[in-house]
Structures are given as C-alpha cells and as structure tokens.
C-alpha cells in the first residue's frame, strides 16, 4: 500500500471527511509506522468536534489506539519498559510527547503541562507531513520520542481501548488527590472516566462508593464494577442527590468526590457533597465547556482541598496496562466496547459517543 485512508475533522461541528494520505517513503530514526488495529472514540473527541479546545484544523482524530508495527525507524529497538520491538508486534502508546526541556518539564516536574507538548489525534495539522498522526486512520506514524508499549498476548485490543485514556487519566488524577483505605467516595459521571475511577478506588480500598450518573445502562456497568449505590441523574435533582449522599454518610458528606463528567454544573453540586475537610478532584473537564456561578465560601467553610489533573505520563500508561492485565476478571473493560465501526462510519461512532448511547465506541479501520 502507498496510501492510508483517514477520517478527518476539517470544520468544527461538521461531519468528518474521509481523506487519503501518502505513507511515508522513509522513516526518521526512532520513529515507527503502525497499522491501526483499533481506535477508541473518546469523550474528548466530542469536545474537539464541538470546538472546545484550540486545535489546528484539519486533524485526524483519535488518541486511544492499538496497532501492529509495520516498520521501525533506525535505533528503535525497545519499548518504554525495555522490551524488544519488532515488526508484526502489537503495541499501544502514550498519546502525547513532551519536550523534556521547558520550565514545566525540568524545573517544576509537571510534564503534562509541557509548553511544547503534542498529542496524537489533537495537535497535528494533517495537511503537513507525515500527515498520519491520529488514530482514525488505517496507519499512524509514531514520531521519535513516543512512549511505546508492547502488549502481552493475553490482553485483547478491546480491553486496552475500552479502558482508553480514561484509565490512565484517572490514575494520574487519583495520584494527585489520594485515596485512603476505608473512605467514602462519590463519583460524578458513569462514562469511561467515571468507571475507570470506580475500578481504581475500589481496588484502593474505598469502603463505600456512590456513583452519580446515567443513563441506566451505564449505571448497570457501574454496579458491575463495584459501585455500592447508584443514583440516576436523569431522574433525580441535585437537591435529592445531596440529601441521599448525606443519608449514606451519617449526615457528613463524602471524604472524596471525583468529577468525571465534564459538565460545569457538576462542580457546584460536587463541592456540596464533600464533608468538611474533604477533597474534590476536577478530572472530567479536559475541554472548555463553559463557566458557572461559583461561591468560594463553600471551599472555605468546608475547608476543602480542591485539585485538578490534566492528562497523564508514560508511567501511568505502563501502570494502567499492568492494572488491566491483573484485574480483567473484576473490571472487564473490554465488554464496554461497542460493535466496531468502520472508517466510513466514523461520524456514526462519534454521534453515538456524543449522545451517551453506549459506553465506548470503537473504530476498526
């Protein structure tokens, strides 16, 4: 093959376009050409489609991807963990590359805020060579410096993409805010990020987990992943949910509340669900979904610790893959995936995610 088809976002809130791009004639040292086996449709892709992040257009979407190595550039012989790489091998990779040199990388140890950070499926104008820098494509070009991970045979594509960036983003966020044994945790949002947080806090020893989400089919998965109580946000009011959380916590509120939904109004509600001295993590707002009225007195009066978390690092990808392999029987992320969509059906996959019709839409080019 000399070309690769890809689904391209050319204009915000307009259908993706199927375009064809040339495969690279040569590979840079340290790069790889990968045949895409499966790409996940992330909620962030919906935010990108809506124009809620400043990104270059046109762009090939897709930052949650599993593929098979087609060719390796000179010098690329091992993955991030030191395992041998070879053509024909199935791999996953961290979606972003950092510079390692800027103020945040070197001085402040905040690499996810790297001033020159670039992310596959988000940061690259696909009219510029090497073009193929997103997962909604038959092939993807992995640039030098990409953190690549060889996948064990026992870990299926559906598990890796079903967990997607939600799992590793959640790992980073929970690392920043902390989960303590025996705590009561409220999770706002029962999509991929909420379910990933649910699996992680259950595995970390939380005593009671209360899931606020919907629709019903997502709450059924929350129960499967270990939620003790599920409250349907489509049939209850914030006041009713607040009353129920207080009843379940002896009138005090939760030790930890995790915002995993990306709806601004959820933050106002979530702060009220914390106990005095509790903790609140804003994790779901990767895109800019707008502003809300906010009373900072709530934070002061309750003596809350409020944190945010952005993206993840390669070490979280490494840890996430080990978590998936270790806990597949308890947290079957592969069963969250939809029936596969083709590249020609990428718009349908995106619409399915936008309307919460499934849990995880997947594209198999």
Q: What is the pLDDT of residues 155-180, one digit of tens each?
A: 999 999 999 999 999 999 999 999 99
Residues 291, 224 share a domain: yes
Strand pairing class (139-142; 32-41): antiparallel
Q: Residue 177: inside a domain, yes or no?
A: yes
Half-sphere exposure of 114 (CA within 13 A, CB side): 17
Token pair belonging to 12: 């915000």
Does 151 reside within a domain?
A: yes
Question: Is 294 or 305 the better-scoring residue by pLDDT?
Answer: 305
If asked whether residues 147 and 178 sit together in one domain, one would say no
Helical segments of 204-237, H only: 216-224
Q: How confident is the model at residue 289 (pLDDT cuts 50, 70, 90)?
A: confident
3-class DSSP assignment, residue 45: helix
Mean pLDDT score across all residues of the chain: 96
pLDDT digit string, tens, across residues 115-157: 999 999 999 999 999 999 999 999 999 999 999 999 999 999 9
Compute the average pLDDT of residues 94-122: 96
Give yes or no: residues 146 and 26 share one domain: yes
Residues 275 and 335 in one domain: no
Residues 180 and 55 in one domain: no
Which pLDDT value is given to residue 358? 78
Q: What is the pLDDT of residue 356?
A: 80
Mean pLDDT calculated for residue range 316-334: 95
Whether 124 and 236 map to the same domain: the answer is: no
Which residues fall within 8 angstroms of residue 196, CB to CB, at 6 or more apart? 163, 166, 167, 169, 170
Domain residue limits at 89 = 3-155+328-363
Please tell me the total count of domains within the chain: 2
Residue 315 lies in a domain: no
DSSP bridge pairs for 92:
66, 149
Asked whether residue 313 is domain-assigned, the answer is no
pLDDT score for 359: 82
The domain spanning residue 231 has which CATH number? Answer: 3.40.50.720
Residue 355 has a pLDDT of 85
Please tell me whether residues 199 and 303 are part of one structural domain: yes
Place of tokens 């809300």: 292
Is residue 1's pLDDT more than 80? no
Sequence-distant (≥ 6) Cβ neighbours of residue 60 within 8 angstroms: 6, 7, 8, 9, 121, 124, 126, 131, 132, 133, 134, 135, 136, 137
Residues 304, 190, single domain; the answer is yes
Does residue 318 form part of some domain? no
Q: What span, in angstroms and rounded, lies between the C-alpha atoms of 97 and 114? A: 9
Same domain, 54 and 179: no
Task: Locate 349 and state its tokens.
Answer: 């996959």
CA 211 to chain centre: 18
**How high is the pLDDT of residue 224?**
95
Answer whether residue 143 is part of any domain: yes
112 and 219 co-located in one domain: no
Structure tokens at 13: 């809130």
Establish how many alpha carbons lie within 13 A of residue 240's alpha carbon, considering only the half-sphere containing its beta carbon: 9
Residues 218 and 248 in one domain: yes
pLDDT at res. 357: 80
Please report the pLDDT score of residue 119 as a whole number: 96
3-state secondary structure of 96: strand
Find the CATH number of the domain harbouring 9: 3.90.180.10
What are residue 159's phi and psi, to 5 degrees? Answer: -70, -45
Q: Given a cut of 90, is residue 41 above it in pLDDT?
A: yes
Same domain, 75 and 132: yes
Residue 317 within any structural domain of the chain: no
Average pLDDT of the segment spanning 308-312: 96
| 160 belongs to a structural domain | no
Q: Residues of the chain with pLDDT > 90: what percent?
A: 93
Kindly state the average pLDDT of the residues 205-220: 96
What is the pLDDT at residue 191? 92
Q: What is the arithmetic mean of pLDDT over 269-294?
A: 93
pLDDT the model gives residue 154: 92
Residue 30 pLDDT > 80: yes
């Amino acid at each position: 093959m000399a070309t690769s088809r890809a689904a391209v976002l050319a204009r915000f809130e307009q259908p993706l376009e199927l375009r064809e791009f040339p495969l690279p004639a040569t590979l840079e040292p340290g790069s790889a050409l990968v045949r895409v086996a499966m790409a996940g449709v992330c909620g962030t892709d919906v935010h990108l489609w809506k124009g809620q992040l400043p990104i270059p257009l046109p762009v090939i979407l897709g930052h949650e991807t599993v593929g098979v190595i087609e060719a390796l550039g000179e010098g690329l012989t091992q993955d991030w963990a030191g395992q041998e790489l070879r053509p024909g091998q199935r791999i996953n990779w961290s979606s972003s590359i950092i510079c390692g040199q800027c103020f945040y990388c070197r001085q402040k140890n905040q690499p996810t805020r790297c001033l020159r950070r670039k992310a596959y499926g988000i940061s690259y104008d696909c009219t510029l060579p090497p073009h193929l820098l997103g997962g909604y494509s038959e092939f993807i070009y992995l640039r030098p410096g990409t953190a690549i991970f060889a996948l064990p045979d026992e870990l299926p594509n559906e598990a890796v993409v079903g967990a997607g960036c939600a799992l590793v983003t959640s790992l980073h966020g929970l690392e920043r805010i902390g989960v303590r044994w025996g705590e009561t945790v409220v999770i706002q949002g029962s999509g991929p990020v909420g379910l990933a947080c649910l699996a992680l806090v259950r595995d970390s020893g939380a005593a009671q987990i209360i899931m606020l989400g919907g629709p019903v089919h997502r709450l059924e998965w929350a129960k499967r992943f270990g939620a003790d109580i599920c409250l349907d946000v489509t049939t209850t009011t914030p006041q009713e949910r607040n009353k129920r959380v207080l009843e379940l916590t002896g009138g005090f509120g939760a030790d930890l509340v995790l915002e995993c939904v990306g709806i601004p109004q959820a933050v106002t509600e979530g702060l009220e669900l914390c106990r005095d001295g509790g903790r609140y993590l804003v994790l779901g707002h990767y895109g800019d979904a707008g502003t809300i009225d906010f009373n900072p007195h709530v934070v002061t009066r309750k003596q809350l610790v409020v944190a945010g978390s952005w993206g993840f690092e390669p070490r979280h990808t490494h840890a996430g893959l080990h978590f998936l392999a270790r806990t597949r029987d308890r947290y079957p992320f592969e069963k969250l995936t939809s029936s596969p969509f083709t590249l020609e059906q990428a718009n349908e996959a995106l619409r399915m995610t936008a309307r919460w019709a499934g849990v995880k839409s997947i594209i198999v080019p």
